[in-house]
Amino acid sequence: MRLVITADTHVPKRARDLPDPLWDAVRSADVVVHAGDWVDESLLDAMQDRARRLVGVYGNNDGPALRARLPEIARVELAGLRIAVVHETGPAAGREARCAERFGDCDVLVFGHSHIPWDTVAPGGLRLLNPGSPTDRRRQPYATFLTAELSDGRLDALTLHRLPPRTPRR
């Protein structure tokens, strides 16, 4: 099962649209996971139209319309892997322990908010993944998203994709 993981897209505030490499990955994925901060419903609509299956949550920058359509926390089992998705996990210090306590019944936790790629394992084996942001790299060297392959309860071939610099808005 091919998985795309993204978050903090902030369309149209940070970019008019998602970068083409991310849209290409969305179209070829079996499942797309979005960890919040969509900003506009039109991106959710476009993602639903292009993704075979979408698992998404709302973020702190998502207003009432998106919150009415998306949960704060999503839980799903994919290829035998128990995955939770949430936007915010709090400060980096102590994140693994907090998340292990809150999501200890899962194998993988996907989160966003910081725009900083993250891949660690918490006590008890919970893997924490943050794909960064494909549109707003903040202090990171690249805008990013993740892809992975899932099979038999395993997450394999996890890849952090670095996106080319955007052309500035005019």
The answer, yes or no, to whether residue 169 has pLDDT greater than 50, is no
How much is the pLDDT for 160?
98
Residue 170 lies in a domain: no
Q: What is the CATH number of the domain that holds 35?
A: 3.60.21.10
Find the helix or strand (DSSP H, E) in which 69 lies: helix 64-69
Residue 121 lies in a domain: yes
> What's the mean pLDDT when you consider all of the chain?
95
Domain count, the chain: 1
In degrees, rounded to 5, the angle at the alpha carbon of residue 159 between the alpha carbons of residues 106 and 23 is 100
pTM above 0.85, yes or no: yes
Residue 31 lies in a domain: yes
Residue 168 lies in a domain: no
Domain extent for 82: 2-163
Q: What is the mean pLDDT of residues 43-62?
A: 98
Residue 98 lies in a domain: yes
How much is the pLDDT for 139?
87
Which of 110, 105, 104, 149 is closest to 122 using CA atoms?
104
Find the helix or strand (DSSP H, E) in which 47 lies: helix 41-50
How much is the pLDDT for 14?
86
At 115-165, the pLDDT tens digits run 999 999 998 999 999 999 999 998 899 999 999 999 999 999 999 999 987
- The single residue listed with the structure tokens 């319309």 is 65
Residue 66 lies in a domain: yes
* pLDDT category of residue 166 using cuts at 50, 70 and 90: low
